[in-house]
Amino acid sequence: MDLKYGASREKPREDAAMQRFRSHRVGQFIHWGLYSLPAGRWEGKDVEFAAEFLPRVAKIPQQRWEALAKDFTLADFDAERWADTAVALGARYMTITTKHHDGFCLWPSAHTDFHMGNTPSGRDVLGELVAAYEARGIDVNFYYSVLDWRHPDWRFTLEDDADSLAFARYLDFAMKQLEELAERYPSVKGFWFDGTWDESVKANGWWTWEVERMLKERIPGVVVNSRLRADDFGARHVDSNGALMGDYESGYERRLPEPWDHGVAERDWEACMTIPQASWGYHQGPWAQATLKHPWDVVDMIAHCTSLGGNFLLNFGPRGDGSMAPAEVGIATKVGEWLSVNGEAIYGCGFAEGWDYPGWGYFTRSATGDVYAVVTRAPVSGRIRLQLPAGMALAGVRLLGSGEHPFKRLADSLFEMVIAGDASTGPLVFALETSALARPSSEKEPNPDVLD
């Protein structure tokens, strides 16, 4: 089918900027805005819903929401400290909400008054963050919500000509804001679009195509998520011919693909994840705080994504005063300590073709072909089996952070290791040295699993 606004390619991008994004594997997502001030509590009551949805869920009048801006004083905001938490996590990139659904902008936009420049400090926190992160070698990407609850021209649906006219003005406004972001912060490495699911956006696939084109023209190498895009017929993420739009698939949100679903590895993709069960903005209530993930659960997810060729974007919700929540910093530090020992199985690694999903964790493979076993679900038996691809044998095993590790052969390409995990250091990672199976296949031992 001939599409004007479909995918621009059928295969993954292979340029240097895309390879860099792909190699990152671990990113820090940040949701910060006016919603960080009430942090899920309104008029003394906890609202058990994502904190960034508070104005909608608690039906807060627009004027009262906007009045929060005068309390956004940045009493404890320091971009350097945020960037330090990303270093502690071992993140290689960061994605920050420049504008969320409520329309509030973290940069002094010329196209609205609803921005950080009109809060007491008047600071350009986005500029401060770009500088602090990039000084540490961490790429910065921008989240931008196309959905805008505040803008008078936003429409969810287009019922008549008046709606279409208003929404055309809205799209023009959003395009100008994106041009402004590209011009003010030309070192930005990628854009993460959200709030693109409404009928109004789907009826204007041309605009999503134009946004991608504009950004790529202005920022060489910029990486754009699939969630931005709709084609001529309103098909999202994947066009009507089945080709991925944008540069990577961004549909995995608070869920990951099944670990045996190896087909996922044929595309670039990224999963984003909250630390509490379900809030992206900081939620102060016990509801969110009781559900914080354990660092080793986060490590499991990082290895899970890497094993299928995807990136993992872990969300942080800094508090209204600008400080990072200590519990989240603690989790980041633990994950980062694990990565500092085991990162060679994660950064620059991806899907290990030919290695079946092992159940006790994941196989990953580096760009140079080294295969790793990441044991996130060690069996109570204390032993794991390694089924190598046919024709391969295990020649050596090295436990990362330790040294040579014993193993024994059970059958042709099937090996077993005894492992002793330690909850304090987290999942064990083994680098596997392989060789060709020495014996000719005619001498194969009978396979006890197969009944003739």
Q: How far is the CB of 314 from ligand 16Z (least distance, A)?
A: 12
Q: Which is nearer to ligand 16Z, 100 or 304 (CB)?
A: 100
Q: Which is nearer to ligand 16Z, 35 or 363 (CB)?
A: 35
Distance from C-alpha of 11 to C-alpha of 244, rounded to nearest angstrom: 9
Distance from C-alpha of 235 to C-alpha of 237, rounded to nearest angstrom: 7
Contact 371, 434 (CB under 8 A): yes
Distance from C-alpha of 69 to C-alpha of 77, rounded to nearest angstrom: 15
Q: How far is the CB of 254 from ligand 16Z (least distance, A)?
A: 8
Distance from C-alpha of 126 to C-alpha of 106, rounded to nearest angstrom: 6
The residue ranges that bind ligand 16Z (CB under 6 A) are: 31, 50, 52, 194, 253, 272, 280
H-assigned helices in 343-436: none
Q: How far is the CB of 440 from ligand 16Z (least distance, A)?
A: 54
Q: How far is the CB of 379 from ligand 16Z (least distance, A)?
A: 35
Q: Which is nearer to ligand 16Z, 270 or 412 (CB)?
A: 270
Largest pairwise CA distance in the chain: 80
Radius of gyration of the chain (CA): 24
Q: Is the dihedral of CA 384, 385, 386, 392 positive or negative?
A: positive
Distance from C-alpha of 120 to C-alpha of 146, rounded to nearest angstrom: 26
Tell me which residue has its CB nearest to ligand 16Z: 280
Q: Which is nearer to ligand 16Z, 146 or 428 (CB)?
A: 146
The CB density around residue 224, as the number of other CB atoms within 10 Å, is 24
Q: Which two tokens stand for residue 62?
A: 């627009």
Q: How far is the CB of 315 from ligand 16Z (least distance, A)?
A: 7
Q: How far is the CB of 329 from ligand 16Z (least distance, A)?
A: 21
Q: Which is nearer to ligand 16Z, 198 or 416 (CB)?
A: 198
Distance from C-alpha of 326 to C-alpha of 331, rounded to nearest angstrom: 9
Give 3-state DSSP helix, strand, coil % of the chain, rounded to 5.
30, 20, 45
Q: Which is nearer to ligand 16Z, 32 or 338 (CB)?
A: 32
Q: How far is the CB of 253 from ligand 16Z (least distance, A)?
A: 5
Q: Which is nearer to ligand 16Z, 77 or 280 (CB)?
A: 280
The residue whose two tokens read 């820090």 is: 28
Q: Which is nearer to ligand 16Z, 272 or 325 (CB)?
A: 272
Distance from C-alpha of 442 to C-alpha of 381, rounded to nearest angstrom: 33
Q: How far is the CB of 154 from ligand 16Z (least distance, A)?
A: 15
Q: Which is nearer to ligand 16Z, 200 or 364 (CB)?
A: 200
- In one-letter notation, the amino acid at residue 205 is G
Distance from C-alpha of 61 to C-alpha of 43, rounded to nearest angstrom: 13
Q: How far is the CB of 437 from ligand 16Z (least distance, A)?
A: 46
